[in-house]
Amino acid sequence: MRTRKKLAYGAAALAVLAGLGLLGKLWQVMDTSRSGVADDTVKLADFHSRDPEAIRRGEYAMRLADCAACHQPDFSGGYRITTPFGTLFTSNITPDRETGIGNMTERDFFNAVRQGKGDHGLLYPAMPYTAYTQISDQEMHDLWAYMSTMPPVSRHIDENAGMHFPYNLRLAMAGWNLLFFNNAPFEPDNHRDAAWNRGKYLVDGPAHCSVCHTARNALGGEVSDGYLQGGSLGVWYAPDITPNPHSGTGTLSDAQIVDYLKTGADGRSVAAGPMAEAVEHSTQYFSDSDLQAITAYLRSLPASGTAAPVAFRMDAAQQQQAALSYEVNCSACHGLKGEGISGMVPAFAGNRAMLNDPTNMIHAMLTGARAPHTEHRQTAAGMPSFAWKMDDRQIAAVLNYVRNSWGNQAAEVTAGEVGELRRATDARQKLAVPAQR
Q: Residue 437's pLDDT is what?
A: 67
Q: Give the separation between CA 403 and CA 182, rounded to whole angstroms.
A: 40
Q: Give the separation between CA 314 and CA 392, rounded to whole angstroms.
A: 16
Q: Residue 207's pLDDT is what?
A: 97
Q: Residue 20's pLDDT is what?
A: 46
Q: What is the pLDDT along the chain (437 residues), one digit of tens a residue?
A: 556 555 554 555 455 444 545 555 665 777 889 999 999 999 999 999 999 999 999 999 999 999 999 998 899 999 988 888 888 899 999 999 999 999 999 999 999 999 999 888 889 888 999 999 999 999 999 999 999 999 999 999 888 888 888 778 888 888 889 999 999 999 999 999 999 999 999 999 999 999 999 999 988 899 989 999 999 988 999 999 999 999 999 999 999 999 999 999 998 999 999 999 999 999 999 999 999 999 999 999 999 999 999 999 999 999 999 999 999 999 999 999 999 998 889 999 989 889 999 999 999 999 999 999 999 988 888 999 999 999 999 999 999 999 999 999 999 999 999 999 999 999 999 998 777 76
* Annotated binding-site ranges for heme c: 67, 70-71, 209, 212-213, 330, 333-334
DSSP H or E stretch at residue 232: strand 231-232
* Annotated binding-site ranges: 67, 70-71, 209, 212-213, 330, 333-334
Amino acid making up residue 181: F
Q: Residue 5's pLDDT is what?
A: 53
E strand segments, 47-133: 80-83, 86-89, 117-118, 121-122
DSSP H or E stretch at residue 301: none
- In angstroms, how far is CA 40 from the centroid of its own chain? 32
Cβ 272 vs Cβ 360: under 8 Å: yes
Domains and CATH numbers, the chain: 35-180 (1.10.760), 195-437 (1.10.760.10)
Q: Residue 27's pLDDT is what?
A: 58
